[in-house]
Structure 1
Amino acid sequence: MVGANLKSETLKLMDKRSGIEAEMNAIIEQLSQPGGPGLSGNLVDSEGFPRADIDIPYVLAQRHRLAELKNDHGEITEKINVNIQLLHSAKLTSTPKDSGVEMNQNASDSSAGASGALQNIVSRDSRGANDVDLISGMPFAIVDEIADASPAAEGGLQLGDQIVKFGNVKAGDNLLQQLASEAQVNQGLPIPVTVMRQGALFNLSVTPRTWQGRGLLGCHFRIM
């Protein structure tokens, strides 16, 4: 019973986290529209006066809300990770050896209209959909800027995508340097990228290359 309650609680937390991610993505997309202030752009013009083309109080409120959501996301993710560890510990002591889980990567998900491979965790026994294993990737960066017709856009990356894995980069120190190095080393070669989008994991392939815009990817990552 304790395990069932813990699993139910964790699923609710994951749903709540998905809602937070959706709201974060909406704010990021709104602030990052062409001509917009972005997530950290100046709110004054070249002469030091408040910009007349944007609603400054609204932008400040949205940036503040985004910071709050980021904190809430971190707290919920921490709770989810603790619960997952407890569930795995219980499974190791009580689950028969032949009733584990395996990870399947579907080539497409027509019901969701997803482009790319949606990563699903499927149970090998006869349990229902609510008993899927609660394994989730930990995003470490978010796409907060992306140029049209860029290698990143052509590879399927979208504004607000949260990077779970970029080639060999998963997490750790000096992430921006790691990401830049990974792109440079693999110039002209496809890099497998796993992103979280609206609470779902997608597998993409992005090829760094020179193009008419800046950089090898044409996007900007912000470490979370």
Structure 2
Amino acid sequence: MDPPNEFDVLSQDVDQTLRADIDNLDQLPLASVFDVKSRLESELTRLFNALNEMGADMETPLVTNEGYPRADLDVLQIRLLRRNVNVLRNDLKAVISRAEVLMATQFEKLAAKTQEVNRNREFESRIPFAKVVDVVATSPSEVAGLKKDDKIVAFGRVHAGNHKSLSAVALCAQASENKPISVRILRDSEFHQLTLTPTKNWSGRGLLGCQIVAI
């Protein structure tokens, strides 16, 4: 039986599952690419440790001054380990490059999604969802500056996209009793920012002292 050649030894030394993942790098998602990177780094650490145990590193001379292989070192094994290291170093560069591409793509998608969310928020922050039809004197709403015919654009976190037939306004008021709420209104084609504090500590009924209807 013929002894294994250098390529056979190299193939045995490198995890074949890892090699398969590296060969199919373009098909892997970002998380898997990071996993391959971690496994490559672990494999390189193992190889460097193996070199160290043999009393060598990547720069150790393997021949004597006369040009003969050093008798105090396993020159063949050291050369094979060095070859594996060089192969995996190149693989690691390719993995890092692939990760950078995938990360850039992911950041672009995230930025696009963020822009879309911001556009939706901007749209919602300018669309009235309720109209004030009555404000009781001395009520928290009057104290805040709310007036009849004002159009409510935002009531705390409640807006045109989530007011749920105005039920979210009532829930927000109940959850914020005696706490200030930012209220954005549209009055005579101008936007105004008010601060309203729902409370029972006034002469009338309810927390707000106003009547609103959905638009």
TM-score, normalized by the shorter chain, greater than 0.5 = no
Which of the five TM-score ranges fits, normalised by the shorter chain? 0.3 to 0.5
TM-score with structure 2 setting the length: 0.40
TM-score with structure 1 setting the length: 0.39
Larger radius of gyration: 2
